[in-house]
Copies of this chain bind each other. A is one copy, B any other.
Amino acid sequence: VLRDVILAWLGRADIRGASALIGWFRPTHGGIAWEPLAGRRALVTAGPTHEPVDPVRYLGNRSSGLQGYAIASALAALGARVTLVSGPVALADPAGVDVVRVETALEMERAVRAALPADIAVCAAAVADWRVDGVAGLKIKKQAGAPPPVLTLSPNPDLLAMLSAPGPERPALVVGFAAETDNVEANAVAKRTRKGCDWIVANDVSTGTNVMGGLDNRAILITRDGIEHWPLLAKTELARRLAERIAAWFEMPVMADGGDRV
């Protein structure tokens, strides 16, 4: 109904512009599903990775996967075909989403490559920057009198940079996340340029913010053209806003000079 009102109001205006406007409203009005991302493929990563030290120990991080799962769900609700590559989390598969479960950053890299091509990539996983060298095949035992082991680390593949690199398989829109504990905005702006992604969703995950593992999130959306401070939102609501923003982006006309959409 609202869609009809706006279309009527716009009269014979360009239908793509109208759709972009409608993109800011909820996906259903009067029970009619609105699926602006129908036909689009989306790849979402979520959760932590666990980097093994030995068969029982690992290096992990506090990502619950909630934000990424909510984004996968929100994109599917707008009609996208979604593959969710998930690290180890205690969440059920979202309805209507293909879920690929992995443990380590190397496994996540393989699963991400296998999920391409995609129109949209949202890298919400907290992929470990480093893995542990010389993973022990047997549990490392505490030895009386012996010093504790020292864990040396090696860099993991950078999935956001990989997906952002120019090439035939680059998704049209690559969205990264930045979990920061200091200088959130400046670090995130620098990260967008460094990684070559289109947007960055930046969060303050300092101790006490309760973002990692919590239900709410306060984000800063960084695009080529601007910085938006979003209010504190439930992660599901933040996901819906982001998904609708992504849908609207695909409705924007491509610049005649081949320039990028913002």
Measured CB to CB, the residues of A under 8 A from B are 50, 53-63, 90, 126, 128-130, 138-139, 141-142, 148-155, 179-182, 187, 205-207, 212
Contact B149 A150 (CB under 8 A): no
Complexed CA–CA distance, A96 and B69 (Å): 33
**Pick from B53, B187, B205, B207: contact of A59, CB under 8 Å:** B53
Q: How far is the CB of A110 from chain B (nearest CB, A)?
A: 19
Known: A179-B139, A181-B139. A150 touches B148 (CB 8 A): no
Known: A130-B149, A151-B151. A56 touches B179 (CB 8 A): yes
Complexed CA–CA distance, A207 and B126 (Å): 25
Q: Interface SS of chain A: helix, strand, loop or mixed? A: loop
Residues in B whose Cβ lies below 8 Å from that of A150: 150-153
Contact A59 B57 (CB under 8 A): yes
**Pick from B139, B149, B181, B212: contact of A153, CB under 8 Å:** B149
Residues in B whose Cβ lies below 8 Å from that of A155: 142, 148
Complexed CA–CA distance, A148 and B155 (Å): 7
Contact B56 A59 (CB under 8 A): no
23 contacts between A and B (CB under 8 A): A53-B59, A55-B205, A55-B206, A56-B62, A56-B63, A56-B181, A57-B62, A58-B61, A59-B59, A59-B151, A90-B90, A129-B148, A130-B148, A138-B181, A139-B182, A139-B205, A141-B187, A148-B152, A148-B153, A148-B154, A150-B151, A151-B151, A151-B153
Considering the complex, give the chain B residue whose CB is closest to the CB of A148. Answer: B153
Contact B55 A138 (CB under 8 A): no
Q: How far is the CB of A146 from chain B (nearest CB, A)?
A: 10
Residues in B whose Cβ lies below 8 Å from that of A187: 141
Residues in B whose Cβ lies below 8 Å from that of A153: 148-151
Q: How far is the CB of A25 from chain B (nearest CB, A)?
A: 35
Complexed CA–CA distance, A65 and B141 (Å): 21
Contact A129 B142 (CB under 8 A): yes
